[in-house]
Structure 1
Amino acid sequence: MKKVTGIGGIFFKSKDPKAATEWYQKHLGLDTNPYGATFAWYERPDSPQQAQTQWTPFPQDSGYFEKDYMINYRVENLEALVETLKNEGVTIVDAIETYSYGKFVHILDGEGNKVQLWQPID
């Protein structure tokens, strides 16, 4: 079983997320939306299956993650991976949540950093 298939998102804390989003749009040409920016790509060169990576600034005082950043990893089978990680002694922070765009769970890495796992619903 593949555990991680790519980077699902880069999230970072910002003093002014709206201004940060506007700066990146103006100066670096990011095609922004209310959530930041979404980068589309293909799973494999020969694949018609499009995937995405999300880029999002969060408010500096956000409690969604503790450090100044959080990485979201794309995975193929979140339920099976969570069971494997539990058996390996990895801390699972919360229950799997399902939204129209995918399933999510948070874990702690070996240094206690919060990591988000995402199984997209394509």
Structure 2
Amino acid sequence: MERVIGFGGIFFKADNPKALSQWYKKHLGVPIDETYGGYTFDWKNDSLRPKKGYTIWSPFKSDTDYLNPSDKEFMFNFIVADLPKLLQVLKEEGINQVGEMEDTEFGRFAWIMDPEGNKIELWEPADQ
């Protein structure tokens, strides 16, 4: 019997869901579906899916500081194509980076915060 076979989505509360969705559309390019205010990343859509990467599910210890400076109990991770270029655009748009970009065996990582204090990890996967 098959049980869990993938990661289905991220669902979270927001003080102003419509405004927050528009922030993600403007600054991160998430193509928001105006009908329900979210977006379905279809991994079968060759024009809109990442060319590399994977989805990670990982619990952290309750006292981790990895999610700081957010006081939320979750963090979003978005796969991006060109992290340095995106960081420059975000800087021009007034979005502050949290900490320094890190280059690891898994790829490049950088972090920003959305207007409601949710930490966002931007990830450019390493070539496999």
**TM-score using structure 1 length:** 0.60
Q: Tell me, in whole angstroms, the C-alpha distance in 1 between the residues paired with 2:111 and 2:91.
A: 12
Which 4+ stretches in 1 moved above 2 angstroms?
Answer: 28-31, 41-45
Kindly indicate whether structure 1 or structure 2 has the higher relative contact order, using CA contacts under 8 Å at least 6 residues apart.
1
Which residue of structure 1 lines up, in the alignment, with residue 91 of structure 2? 86
Q: Tell me, in whole angstroms, the C-alpha distance in 2 between the residues paired with 1:95 and 1:51.
A: 21
Which residue of structure 2 lines up, in the alignment, with residue 4 of structure 1? none
> 1:110: Cα distance to partner?
1.5
The one-letter amino acid of 1:120's match is: P
Q: Contact 2:53–2:79 at 8 Å: present in 1 too?
A: no
Q: 1:43 to 1:57 in 2, by over 3 A?
A: farther
Quick one: which of 98, 102, 107 aligns to 1:102? 107
**TM-score using structure 2 length:** 0.57
> 1:102: Cα distance to partner?
0.4
Which residue of structure 2 lines up, in the alignment, with residue 61 of structure 1? 63
Q: Tell me, in whole angstroms, the C-alpha distance in 2 between the residues paired with 1:42 and 1:101.
A: 23
Aligned residues: 85
Q: Tell me the SS of whatever aligns to 1:117.
A: strand
Q: Tell me, in whole angstroms, the C-alpha distance in 2 between the residues paired with 1:50 and 1:67.
A: 28
Quick one: which of 64, 76, 82 aligns to 1:77? 82
Which residue of structure 1 lines up, in the alignment, with residue 38 of structure 2? none
> 1:99: Cα distance to partner?
0.5
Identity of aligned residues (%): 37
**Gap regions ≥5 residues in structure 2:** 7-42
The one-letter amino acid of 1:73's match is: F
**Gap regions ≥5 residues in structure 1:** 1-27, 32-40
